Structure 1
Amino acid sequence: MSDIIRLLPDHVANQIAAGEVVQRPASVVKELLENAIDASAKAITLIIKDAGKTLVQVIDDGKGMSTTDARMAFERHATSKISSAEDLFALATKGFRGEALASVAAIAHVSVKTRREEDDLGTQLDIEGSKVTGQEPVVTPAGTMISVRNLFYNVPARRKFLKSDSVELRNITNEFHRVAMAHPQIAFKFINNDSELFNLPAGSYRHRIVNIMGSRVDDKLVPLKEETELLSIHGYIGKPEFARKTKGLQYFFANDRFIKHSYLHHAVVSAFEGLLPDKANPSYFIYLDVPPDSIDINIHPTKTEVKFEDEHSIYAIIRASVKHALGQFSIDSIDFQKDTELDLPYEKARSAASAPRIEVDPDFNPFKQTDSRSSNTQKSNGYRPEKSPAWESLYAGLDEDSTMTDENLAFLPDQQAGAKAEQSLFSPEEATNDTNIFQLQRKFIISTLQSGLLVINQNRAHERILYEQLLRQLTVQNGVSQQLLFPISINRPQEEVTILKQLQTELESVGFLFKNLENANIEIEGLPLDLKETDVEPLLDSIIAFQQEELPDGSFSHVDRLASRMASKIAIKTGDALNKKQMEQLIDELFACKEPELTAQRKKVFINLTGDHLNSKFN
């Protein structure tokens, strides 16, 4: 039998290596941007077409390459960053393996134009599938321009598994953010399909974060700084009150390199313990500077997973630093000159002011005698004669629009609670007629049936009603909008505005009216009828986060997801008090739905407690 083990050809080996290094167009963007940074560039431009599938181009004003270096850069394991194994433990550059460009050239059409400052002419190099198809002198500015076209053209199986353009563009944008935030001293520009998404001038770390994430982030940042022998920490953490349920603004950088580290993330979260709402995630932009020999960045091809020499000490330092920054923020935010006696209670401060009610007795005559005046006054609208304390308890809870729940009953005076219980026990027929529908704990609506009791979750019921209404509006595009006297202005990063532009038709069909949706500043001049102005920004955040989730293709249409997300945000919440008329209307609209039993997320809306079930509880 002949020998069967043989060496793979270089172009096949490069394609296999590309599977590790180049997973998607965002991987190419990361490698090219990091090469430009290693070349000491002061300005870098990223140009994308068709989410990187057609073109990924990076232009920098760095050192450039000679003719020989340009050719050698695309050979496997060719690098200028290291010369021995010991250099791996003193890395101060981004790319060092020498695999990236060779892997990219194996699965795409690559063109390079480069020139050093001291050279009169530059070099143009064309490569297709690891084969050099041309090399010639060319006139070009100092620096390097690398163009990667038709990614995975010779690996159709890999190209078939790429996501949609919106998902791939989002991944590219994320990589751009990570590189740009790590190097604020470099000017960056990002152009997608001939449209400029970002133009970031050189500046400070705070300016770079605000320019990328939007001006709304500026007021939410708390500075963080700590110097120790083991490492130095600087950056910003988000104020606790601005924490979000989505994990969006969480960035760790080690030696100007974006990293993912669940252990250090836990250190930050534990420092926020007791300060965040339930299921909320803190925001942070934390930069770590550690000695190069105390960190191993060579444990994963993407170099986002790293290993620290003393992780336990770093964990403790980060946790203490975040706690210290939060403590300083809390002290700085206290105004000792403020007169707290003038503060309104929390629930009053958030409620809208109501116009005073003025009642006039049209029968009042100041020239009549006192007795006559008293009798006439009793006939006026809205007036009740004074009742003795013994009769006062009988009027408790009898207002037409009031809802007496068990929770309210517990806080009644003993005499009133006793009268209420006595009325329920000794007047069953009358009690049944008056309380055949009532609210329990401001969460459930309970109605009597011939077979027992109907218990409805008011939040889920309203969510189901709104979901079907919004679906109809999205289908026929006949949503009703309430015009705003003053447009709402919201500042958002450009990629979030892009998502809203993709959903603009659907959003306008349910009642949104956009005055401006072109730049980072969004202006809204009309809202859906049931939506409050205070809920607009959280709703848009929720819609954007929902769209950014990579769900399996075909599982949900974006129309379904939009209707579901809007319904869950607009629906009546647990804790909202409802009067009898509102509860009756909610029940009528619920059972007019096509599928009243379940919400859009397949959660149960109501249950039916039969007489047999209730009898079993007394056995």
Structure 2
Amino acid sequence: MPNVIQLLPDHVANQIAAGEVVQRPASVVKELLENSIDAKATDIKLVVKDAGKTLIQVIDNGVGMNVTDARLCFERHATSKIRHAEDLFDLHTKGFRGEALASIAAIAHVELKTKQDQEELGIHLVIEGSKFVSQEVAVLPKGTSFLIKNLFFNIPARRNFLKSDVVEMRHIIDEFQRVVLAHPNIYFTLIHNGSEVFNLPASNYRQRIVNILGGKSNEKLVPVTEETEIVKISGFIGKPEFAKKSRGEQFFFVNDRFIKSSYLHHALMSAYEGLLKEGNQPSYFLYLQVPPHTIDINIHPTKTEIKFDDEQSLYAILRASVKHSLGQFNVAPVLDFERDPNLDTPYEYKDKDSSMPIIQVDANFNPFAEEVSTKATTTTSSSSSFGFKSNFPKRESASWESLYVDLKSDTEEVVSISFESEEVTGSLFDETEVEKTTTTYQIHKKYIVSSIKSGMLVVDQNKAHQRVLYEQFLANITVQSASSQKLLFPLELFYSFDEIQFIEELKPSLENTGFIFDEIGSESILISGIPVNIQESEVSIVLEELLSNLQNEIPENSFSLNDGIAKTMAKSLAIKTGTFLNVKEQENLVNSLFACKDPNVSPFNKPTFITLSVEDLDKKFAL
């Protein structure tokens, strides 16, 4: 019987390893940027074309490689970061597994140009699908340049699973931001399709955050500093009033490596307890320095998860540090035992009663009283009723009745004017119309109850209004006939760079709902018109929830995108539970619901109403 188990060829093993290491173009960006940082580069440039599907290039001024190292770096498990197994628990570099470059070379066309400072010439390698195509010497500047073209060219199935350029570029920007925030001392540049996206000179942590998120983010930051034997904490947290629905601006860095930790996130959220609205998320950029032997970072392929030796102590220290910063900078409410003595009531006034001010009125004053006029040529000096003297000449004029002499007709007609009394003497409607029986009732400001022939109808006012608004917005977007209300003053809203890019993608659909954009800048947008059923104060909330819901995955087709926008706006603007509705509003909501195409469920497939028949009620009382 022949052997069943066989050794895989190297190129097949590399392609399988690439499935873990290279999930999308952003994975390649992460690996190459980390290699440049490990090479002690001070200037790193990232060039991307078609969201990395066509081209990814990383150019740095690091130490470079010689000929042997340049060829050996593409072999599996080849690395300069570790020598022994014990080195895994004392890591000071980024990449250490030695599979990244081998995996990338197995699924793309790779060109490597590298030169060391002491060498006169560099090396130029060309690799296609793990095969060395050419190797030659070249005149190159100091450093290394990795050029990755046609990613997944030999794995079409994986390439077909890639999302749109907008989504893939968002993932690249996310990975880019995670790296640049951890290393503000390095000059970073990002270029996409020939246009410069980020130009980040070397700076400090605060300036790097502001350069990425925009100038308005500076006023949102509160510094955090704490140093103990277990951990050294530094960084910034966001003020509670600037919290958002999304979790995009939340970064933990451990030893200059970005990590995700729900445990540490819970510690920070507990420090914000009582300061945030329900569902809001604060921003934070926290840098933790711990001894390398107290953490294990080799538990996840992407190395974004870390296991700590003493998680409980770290939890307590982080929570206390954030809470202290919130109180120290007067962000959290504190008890103030100091008072201003100047605001106290004097002791001698404690038994005195307050006296009302006296108002004196001259009952004889009449502003329409006729004054005795003098000759026009004589300058008079008379006292007015207000006690001021006038030195201007007084003109001689007839009585005020003379002004209307010419208006009298030949036939003197007396026009009588009757004024309407304030007392209400009648009714605008007939008594039979006013005494109409109410057919709807509101229960606990949440449900609307109405009687029907078969029994009783109970409507959830929030979900019903969601259905009504959803169909209205979807119809407006589809037909492109939405109405807008112009704002007296344009509304300016500030967003980060990636949020601005996302709003530009949504702009056509948002304009079909009634938004009018005057300008979309690099850090802010200017809105001059909004949909008729949105208040000006609700615009920022609606856009924020829209960005939060659609930020991770932008739908591929326009219908799914429009559907997502309509759902989000309907959910944001629907009548909330606890809102009182009068009888007219209740009836209007019920009638609008049953005028919808699908009144049975909300846009999120939740029932909008239930019916209770008379038989159901009889059974309840028959028990």
2:469 corresponds to: 466
Residue deviations 1:436-473 (CA, integer Å, cap 9, x gap) = 33433333333344444433322222222221111111
Measured after TM superposition, the shift of residue 554 of structure 1 is 8.1
Q: Deviations over 1:357-391 (max 9, x none)?
A: xxxxxxxxx9xxxxxxxxxx99633x679xxxxxx
Contact 1:252–1:259 (CA<8 Å) still a contact in 2? yes
Query: Which AA in structure 1 matches 2:50?
Result: D
Structure 2: which 5+ runs fail to align?
344-367, 369-417
SS in 1 for 2:224: strand
Verify: 1:320 aligned to 2:353, yes or no. Answer: no
Equivalent residue for 2:421?
380
Return closer, same or farther for 1:85/1:460 CA change in 2, 3 Å cut-off.
Answer: closer
Change in Cα spacing, 1:27 to 1:13, as seen in structure 2 (3 Å) is same
Q: Which residue of 2 aligns with 1:133?
A: 133
Per-residue CA distance 1:368-422 (angstroms, 9 max, x = gap):
xxxxxxxxx99633x679xxxxxxxxxxxx999xxxxxxxxxxxxxxxxxxxxxx
Q: 1:148 to 1:326 in 2, by over 3 A?
A: same
Residues 1:151 and 2:192 are matched in the alignment: no
Encode CA deviations 1:170-197: one digit per residue, 9 max, x unaligned: 2212111111111111122222222322
SS in 1 for 2:179: helix
Structure number with greater Rg is 2
Aligned to 1:492: 495
Over 3 Å counting, the alpha-carbon distance change for 1:64 and 1:337 in structure 2 is farther
From the superposition, tell whether residues 337 and 120 of structure 1 become closer, same or farther in structure 2 (CA, over 3 Å). farther
Q: Is the 8 A contact 2:294 2:308 kept in 1?
A: yes
- Report the Cα distance in structure 2 between the residues aligned to 1:549 and 1:176, rounded to whole angstroms: 16
Could you tell me which of 595, 607, 614 is aligned with 1:604?
A: 607
Paired position in structure 1 for 2:510: 507
* Map 1:518-529 → 2, pairs under 5 A: 518-529=521-532
2:254 counterpart residue number: 254
- Equivalence for 1:226: 226
C-alpha distance 513-314 of structure 1, shift in aligned 2 (>3 A): same
Tell me if the contact between 1:499 and 1:547 (Cα under 8 Å) persists in the aligned partners: no
Match of 1:439 in 2: 442
Q: Does 1:481 align with 2:484?
A: yes
State the one-letter code of the partner of 1:470.
F
Alpha-carbon spacing, 1:551–1:42, altered in 2? closer, same or farther (3 Å): closer
* SS of residue paired to 1:557: helix
**Partner secondary structure for residue 542 of structure 1:** helix
Asked if 1 retains the 8 angstrom alpha-carbon contact of 2:108 and 2:149, the reply is yes
1:319 CA drift (Å): 2.0
The separation in 1 between residues aligned to 2:581 and 2:4, in whole angstroms, is 79
Contact preservation (8 Å) 1:198, 1:494 = no
Match of 1:275 in 2: 275
Aligned equivalents of 1:399, 1:330: Cα separation in 2? 58
- Give the SS at the match of 1:483: strand
Q: 1:319 to 1:3 in 2, by over 3 A?
A: same
CA contact (8 A) 2:235 2:287 kept: yes
Query: How many Å apart are 1:5 and its aligned residue?
Result: 4.9
Aligned ranges 1:407-426 → 2 under 5 Å: none
Per the TM alignment, residue 105 of structure 1 is displaced from its structure 2 partner at its CA by 0.9
What does 1:11-50 correspond to in 2, within 5 Å? 11-50=11-50
SS of alignment partner, residue 188 of structure 1: strand
Shift in CA distance, 581/314, structure 1 to aligned 2, threshold 3 Å? same
**Distance in 1 separating the partners of 2:587 and 2:10:** 75
Which consecutive segments of 4 or more residues in structure 1 shift more than 6 A?
Answer: 331-339, 429-432, 551-556
CA contact (8 A) 2:455 2:612 kept: yes
Moved more, 221-230 or 308-317: 308-317
Asked whether the equivalents of residues 81 and 96 of structure 1 are also in contact (C-alpha less than 8 Å), the reply is yes
Amino acid at match of 2:522: N
Higher mean alpha-carbon deviation, 247-256 vs 458-467, is at: 458-467
Whole-Å separation in 2 of the counterparts to 1:264 and 1:555 = 38
Distance 1:399 1:607, change over 3 A: farther
In structure 2, do the counterparts of structure 1 residues 257 and 46 end up closer, same or farther at CA, with 3 Å as the change threshold?
A: same
Contact 1:197/1:495, CA 8 A, preserved across alignment: no
Q: How far apart, CA to CA, are the structure 2 residues paired with 1:87 and 1:399?
A: 90
Letter in 2 for 1:200: L
**Cα 1:87/1:21, change in 2 over 3 Å:** same
CA drift of 1:35 comes to 0.8
Contact 2:245 2:545 in 1 (8 A): no
Native 8 Å contact 2:105 2:130 kept in 1: yes
Q: Residues 55 and 150 of structure 1 are in contact (CA less than 8 Å); yes or no, is this contact kept in structure 2?
A: yes
Instruction: Report how many residues are paired.
Output: 545
Report 1:338-377 matches (<5 A): none
Q: What's the CA shift for 1:148?
A: 0.5
CA spacing shift, 1:462–1:337, aligned 2, 3 Å: farther
> Counterpart of 2:602 in 1: which secondary structure?
coil
CA distance, structure 2, for counterparts of residue 7 and residue 442 of structure 1: 69
Alpha-carbon distance in 2 for matches of 1:307, 1:399? 76
Cα distance, 1:207–1:380 mapped onto 2, change above 3 Å: farther
The percentage of aligned residue pairs carrying the same residue is 56
Q: TM-score, normalised on structure 1?
A: 0.80
How far apart are residue 563 of structure 1 and its match? Answer: 0.9
Tell me the SS of whatever aligns to 1:503. helix
Would you say the 8 A contact 1:64–1:142 is kept in 2? Answer: yes
Cα offset, 1:430, TM superposition: 12
Q: How does 1:114-129 map to 2 (within 5 A)?
A: 114-129=114-129
SS in 1 for 2:180: helix
Deviation at 1:29, TM superposition (A): 0.5
The residue type paired with residue 154 of structure 2 is N
User: Does the C-alpha gap of structure 1 residues 157 and 257 become closer, same or farther in structure 2, counting only changes over 3 Å?
Assistant: same
Cα distance in 1, alignment partners of residues 122 and 90 from structure 2: 32
CA distance in 2, matches of 1:380, 1:441: 41
C-alpha distance in 1 between matches for 2:608 and 2:216: 37
Q: Distance in 1 between matches of 2:469 and 2:509?
A: 15
| Shift, 1:599, TM fit | 1.3
Give the SS at the match of 2:436. helix
Aligned match of 1:420:
none
Tell me, in whole angstroms, the C-alpha distance in 1 between the residues paired with 2:218 and 2:433. Answer: 61
Distance 1:614 1:302, change over 3 A: same
Cα distance, 1:555–1:615 mapped onto 2, change above 3 Å: farther
Q: Which amino acid aligns with 1:101?
A: L
Who is 1:559 aligned against?
A: 562
Aligned-partner residue type, residue 264 of structure 1: L
| Secondary structure at 2:526 match in 1 | strand
Partner of 2:142: 142
**CA drift at 1:6:** 4.8
Shift of 1:333: 6.7
Check conservation: 1:378, 1:384, Cα contact below 8 A.
Answer: no
- Deviation for aligned residue 1:508: 0.8
Query: Match of 2:302, as an amino acid?
Result: T
